[in-house]
Structure 1
Amino acid sequence: MTKNLVPFPIIETNRLVLRKIEKSDANSIFNYLSDKKVMKYYGLAPFETINDALSEIAWYQTIFDNKDGIRWGITLKGNDEVIGSCGFLNMVREHFRTEIGYELNSSYWGKGIASEALQAVVSYGFENFNLERIEALIEPPNIPSLKLVEKLGFIREGLLRNYEFTGGKFDDLYMYSLLKQDFAKLK
């Protein structure tokens, strides 16, 4: 696959800068992806080494290069440390849809940061990737995440039973979606 020649987009909000995650961010990524609270519903075991973080960063680059996803690092304006990430994965361009994923350092929970970042990424996806549908797959016990997507206008469509096998067990996932037409009404 040839290198992606499109520059990585930077998104700014009132408090945040969403930017490309680089290898130099590995310590920050490791800091929060080794936290059991953050990883509880992530689908992976908490990271154990800096190499786990470097592999995650390499995956972010791969999905960007393959044009089937993009992952932004969440930073606070005036502080370049990555405190979380959000973006799209499993992008299916011929069907104008994608999934959204996100996580945030637990030190920053409850401050509206994830909401601000997701709102910006969703808006960017509809306006710049010509998406029609953005999906969120969330484990039922992950109440904060369920509330977050519902606050942003996502609609729960149903339960996908035993949809993922992670951590040695099968997990149910709620399927949420936000359509471009519904998002336009929320603006």
Structure 2
Amino acid sequence: MQIENSTFPILETDRLILRKVTEVDASSVLKYMSDNEVVKHIGLEPFNTVVDAMDEITWYQTIFEQGTGIRWGITLKENNEVIGSCGFLNMVPKHFRTEIGTELSKEYWGQGIASEAFEAVIRYGFENFKLQRIEALIEPENTASQKLAEKQGFIREGLLRNYEFTCGKFDDLYMYSLLKQDFDLSESQS
């Protein structure tokens, strides 16, 4: 499992282009990451300034450069504006595993966009990073993300009590996992 630092992969689905997020996308990132409902279950306070968005974009670049993760900006084919992101973090090459996360602008909820992006990223991880296990850590109240993970075949393994301290409180998280052999690599599921 290795991320090539020189070339950021671009993923294409029926409706989406998943691409690198850059500084020119800061206002788009600020737009959806300043929404309380979008950040409610991802352990972040709503963004207030373009500097907050730039910090997020810098984090995306850092995890890619360090080989610990990769985060794609979600864009519609007819519009290059970043409307969310999806990707891997906390990659552990020794154990062929990683965590996956995503967020999407509220105006695009319920249209299957998150599912389409999620499936493309999962497929890329199994095929190109040779992952064996992809984990999703999801707050119990976040039923939409639970449904998203379950649609792709993730299995809830258990509850991690007080697993994270974010936004001034301890959060319980469900541990979900998807193993390579449980994912159909032969065809798109979206």
Q: For this structure pair, what is the TM-score category when the shorter chain's length is used for normalisation?
A: over 0.9
Q: Does 1:75 align with 2:75?
A: yes
Cα gap change, 1:128 to 1:51, in 2 (>3 Å): same
Task: Tell me the equivalent position of 1:157.
Answer: 157
Cα distance in structure 2, aligned partners of 1:138 and 1:33? 18
Stretches of structure 1 that go unaligned for 5 or more consecutive residues are none
Q: Does 1:19 align with 2:19?
A: yes
Task: Tell me the equivalent position of 1:177.
Answer: 177
Pairing 1:124-163 to 2, within 5 Å after superposition:
124-163=124-163
Cα distance in structure 2, aligned partners of 1:148 and 1:46? 22
- Alpha-carbon RMSD across the aligned residues, in angstroms, is 1.1
Cα distance in structure 2, aligned partners of 1:132 and 1:64? 20
Cα distance in structure 2, aligned partners of 1:76 and 1:44? 25
For residue 184 of structure 2, give the secondary structure of its aligned residue in structure 1.
helix
For residue 158 of structure 1, give the secondary structure of its aligned residue in structure 2.
strand
> For residue 92 of structure 2, what is the amino acid of its counterpart?
V
For residue 183 of structure 2, give the secondary structure of its aligned residue in structure 1.
helix
Q: Once superposed, which parts of structure 1, at least 4 consecutive aligned residues long, lie more than 4 Å away?
A: none
Pairing 1:90-109 to 2, within 5 Å after superposition:
90-109=90-109
Deviations 1:82-124 (A, max 9, x none): 0000000000001000000100000000000000000000000
Cα gap change, 1:17 to 1:168, in 2 (>3 Å): same
> Does the CA-based 8 Å contact 1:153-1:186 persist in structure 2?
no
Give aligned-pair identity as a percent: 68
Q: Offset of 1:45 from its aligned partner?
A: 0.4
The number of residues matched between the two structures is 184
For residue 184 of structure 1, give the secondary structure of its aligned residue in structure 2.
coil
Deviations 1:138-169 (A, max 9, x none): 00000100011001100000000000111111
> For residue 17 of structure 1, what is the amino acid of its counterpart?
I
For residue 25 of structure 1, give the secondary structure of its aligned residue in structure 2.
helix
Q: Offset of 1:42 from its aligned partner?
A: 1.2
Deviations 1:16-41 (A, max 9, x none): 00000010000000000000000100
Cα distance in structure 2, aligned partners of 1:175 and 1:83? 26
> For residue 97 of structure 2, what is the amino acid of its counterpart?
R
Cα distance in structure 2, aligned partners of 1:20 and 1:101? 15
Cα distance in structure 2, aligned partners of 1:109 and 1:76? 13
Stretches of structure 2 that go unaligned for 5 or more consecutive residues are none
